[in-house]
């Protein structure tokens, strides 16, 4: 049996702001580095950054490896986007 679904209009994105590919997917672009942390394991340290992505809210920001983000998006770190 189907149930009635009431959508939340605040979660609807305007379609002009999202560029959708032919495969119905889109690329997320990082906007800003919100925070930085270093996790200490037994034998090594892992540096992570909290990244705010385009078309997402601050609550949906994700922790990514700093090394990978510097490799793919060096402009975020050059412009003082690091929150140290």
Question: How does pLDDT run across 12-64, given as a tens digit for each residue?
Answer: 766 666 677 778 787 888 999 999 999 999 999 999 999 999 888 888 999 99
Domain ranges of the chain: 31-84
Q: Which CATH number fits domain 31-84: 3.30.67.10, 2.40.50.40, 3.40.140.10, 3.40.50.720?
A: 2.40.50.40
- Measure CA of the first residue to CA of the last residue in the chain; give whole Å: 53
Helix (H) or strand (E) holding 70: helix 66-72
**Rounded Cα gap, residues 49 and 66, in angstroms:** 6
Residue with tokens 């049996």: 1
pTM (whole model) above 0.85: no
């Amino acid at each position: 049996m189907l149930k009635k679904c009431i959508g939340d209009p605040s979660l609807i994105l305007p379609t002009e702001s999202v560029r959708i590919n032919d495969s119905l997917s889109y690329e997320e672009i990082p906007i800003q580095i919100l925070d930085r942390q270093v996790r200490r394991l037994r034998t090594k340290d892992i540096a992570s950054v909290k990244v705010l992505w385009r078309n997402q809210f601050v609550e949906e920001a994700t922790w990514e490896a700093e090394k990978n983000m510097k490799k793919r998006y060096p402009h975020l770190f050059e412009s003082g986007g690091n929150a140290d």
